[in-house]
Amino acid sequence: MRGAELTAKTLKELNVDVIFGIPGLSNMTLYDALVEYVKNGEMRLILMRHEQGAAHAADGYARALGKPGVCTATSGPGALNLVTGLATAYWDNSPVIAITGQVPRTSIGKMSFQEADIPGVVQNIVKFVIQIRNVNDIPIWLSNAFYIATEGRPGPVVVDIPRDIFNEKVMNGDTRFFRGDVRGFRRFPTSINSIQIKKAVEILINAEKPLILVGAGAVTSMAADEIVTLADMLIAPIVSTLLGKSAVPNDYPLYIGMMGYYGRAEANIAFLESDAVLVIGARLSDRTITSYSDLANSKKKFIIVNIDPTDVERLPINVDVALIGDAKIILRKLIDALMCIGIKFERSNWIRRIYEFRDYYSQFYYVDEDSVGLKPWRVLKTIRGVLPRDAIVTTGVGQHQMWCGVFWEALEPRTFITSGGMGTMGFGLPAAIGAKVAQPNRVVMDLDGDGSFLMTVNNLSTAVDEDIPIIVAIFDNRTLGLVRQVQDLFFGGRIISVDFGSTIDYIKIAEGLGALGFDVQTYEDLTVAIKRSIREDTPSVIRIPIKRDELSLPTLPPGGSLREMILHDPRKSS
C-alpha cells in the first residue's frame, strides 16, 4: 500500500463519501487511489472549475449537513486558490477539511514548480494546519483533522501532503487513530451549574423587556425547539444575527428579524430597548452590535450562552451570567428551571410595543412605487411562496444578501447559508452545489447578485456535468450595488468603478454552460420559472431585473450606531 491508498482508506473510514476538488500534479496520486471507491459507488469526486469553488462547496456541504465537508487541491496555485474559501469557513465556524498536495519533500523550500508554503499561508486563517512528514502519520492526522474541525467551535483544517509521501510504500497500512487525544487541543469546559442557572432565571423572570438573540451557534446546536419553547414560556421576542437566521423558524410569531448593520429596524429597536438579553451562540460581532457606545450607561443585563468561554471573556460588555457549553443542553436546563417555578409571564405591553414597531416600519420596507425592475422584497416573498418549507437557500454577498437578511424567511434549521463573517462574494453558487450534494432531496436555491454570480459562475458547469440541479436566482442590477449604495449615500454620489455594462446576457451564459436560463419580467414569470426549474430537475439560472439604484435598507452610516438607522431613501427627501 502507498501513502495515497492509505489516505483514501482513511478517508473512507472517516465516513467521507464526497470530495470537492480539482486534480493536479501533487494530488493526482490520491485521485488514482480513489478510483476503485468511485467505481464501487462508495465515493463521489466532484470536479469543480476553480479551487475557491471547491472550498465553498465543501463549506456549503458542511453547513447543510452538519458534518465536515472535504475538498482537495494540488500544490501551489491549486492550494492557494482554496485560501478565500478556507478563510470564509473559519470566520463562520464551518468544519471544512482541505487536503492539499505538496511538492516532494526534497523540493520543498526551493521555489520548485507549483510550490507554495501552504502551512505558512493558511496558518492564520484556519483552525489548524499540518504538513505530513511521515507516511505513517497520515491516518492519525486525518483523524485528528476531523476531530479538531468539529470539536468545540468548528472550523477548517488543512492537511498538506507532499506527493512523494503519497507515493511512498507503507509497511503497515492500518489506519491507526488517536481519537479525542490531540496534544494541546482540549474540549472547552462546560460551566452550567445550578447557581448560574438560578441567576439566569432570576434575570429572565425579573426582566420587563427580555429579548433572545440567536446566532450561528444556535444553528450548529440545532436548538430551534428549545429556543421557541423558551420564548413561549418567557413571552420574549427573538432577534437573530445574519448567520443565526435559520436558528428558529422565521414565521414564528415572536421572531422579529435579523438585527445589526443592515438589520430590521424593529429588531434593532427591540435590542436597544430590552432590559435583559439572552444571547445564544452569537459572538456579538461588529456587524451585530455596530457600536458598543449603544450600550454605554445601559442597565441591560446579559446572559451569554456560548460553547467557547473565551468568546465571553473577550466581550467589552458586562456579562451577568455566562453559561458555557452546548446551547441545546443549556437551554433545556433553563426550560426545566422555569417549569419548576411555573410562573406565567404577563408581558403583553412589551410584545405589543414590538409589534407596533414592526407595523410602523413596514411602511418603509414594502414599497412598490417604481415600475423599473422588480422589488427585492416582493421577489423574495414570491420565491418563498413557491419553495418548499425545507428548501435550502445560499447567497452571495452584497445588497441581495442584505435583502435576504431582512426579507427572506428561513423556516427550518440549516436552510440559510451565507458568508457572514468574511463577506465573500462568489460564495453562493458553489455553496449551493455543496448543499445540494449534502441534501439531494431538498430544493436548493442560490439567491445571488450579479456581481457575486460572475465571480464563481464557472462552477455552474460543474452543476451541469455532475447533475446537481441547483437553481440560481440572480438579482441583476448591473452593478456592485452595496458599494454603489455607499458611494451614493456617503461619498456624495461619486459613483465609480461599480457599474457593469448592459451587454452581458446571463441567459446565454447559463445555456452556454448547459443550464436552463429564464429571463423574468414579472413576479408571475418568476413563479413559473421556479416551478419549471424544480420540475425539470436540472441546473437553472433565473435572471431577475432590479433597478440599478435600488437601496438596501435599513442601513447605517459607516461606523454608525444602531440608533442612527436610515430607514428610507435619503435621496428622495433632499
Q: Residues in the site for other proteins, rule: CB under 8 A? A: 119-120, 123-124, 127-131, 133, 148, 152, 182-189, 308-310, 313-314, 324
Residue 74 C-beta: closest distance to other proteins, Å:
21
Question: Which CB, 97 or 471, lies closer to other proteins?
Answer: 97
Q: How far is the CB of 195 from other proteins (least distance, A)?
A: 18
Q: CB 105: neighbour CB atoms within 10 A?
A: 15
Q: Which is nearer to other proteins, 209 or 283 (CB)?
A: 283
How far apart, in Å, are the Cα atoms of 45 and each of 36, 102, 163, 548? 12, 20, 19, 40
| CB nearer to other proteins: pick between 119 and 570 | 119
- Cα Rg of the chain, angstroms: 24
Shortest reach from residue 144's CB to other proteins, in Å: 9
Select 133 or 563, whichever has its Cβ closest to other proteins: 133
| Minimum distance from residue 124 beta carbon to other proteins (Å) | 5
Output 225 or 308, the one with its CB closest to other proteins: 308
Which three-class secondary structure state does DSSP give residue 506? Answer: helix
Beta carbon nearer to other proteins, 124 or 371 = 124
Q: Of 188 and 500, which CB lies nearer to other proteins in the complex structure?
A: 188
In the complex, the smallest distance separating the C-beta of residue 130 from other proteins, rounded to whole angstroms, is 6
CB 74 within 8 A of CB 114: yes
**Shortest Å, Cβ 344 to other proteins:** 37
Answer for the pair 469, 538: CB distance below 8 angstroms, yes or no. yes
Q: How far is the CB of 314 from other proteins (least distance, A)?
A: 5
Lookup: cell for 234: 418567557
Residue with cell 457600536: 291
Phi, psi of 261 (to 5 degrees): -55, -50
Cα 85 to Cα 62: distance, rounded to the nearest angstrom: 13
Rounded CA-CA distance 170/351 in Å is 66
Q: Which is nearer to other proteins, 158 or 397 (CB)?
A: 158
Asked if the peptide bond before residue 554 counts as cis, ω within 30 degrees of 0, the response is yes
Q: How far apart are CA 574 and CA 552, in angstroms?
A: 18
As a whole number of angstroms, the distance between CA 130 and CA 538 comes to 39
Looking at beta carbons only, is 275 or 308 nearer to other proteins?
308
Q: How far is the CB of 191 from other proteins (least distance, A)?
A: 9
User: What DSSP string runs through 56-122?
Assistant: HHHHHHHHHHSS-EEEEE-TTHHHHHTHHHHHHHHHTT--EEEEEEE--TTTTTTT-TT---HHHHH
- In whole angstroms, how close is the CB of 397 to other proteins at the nearest point? 23
The answer for residues whose C-beta is within 8 angstroms of residue 542's C-beta and 6 or more apart is 471, 472, 473, 474, 517, 518, 520, 526, 529, 530, 533
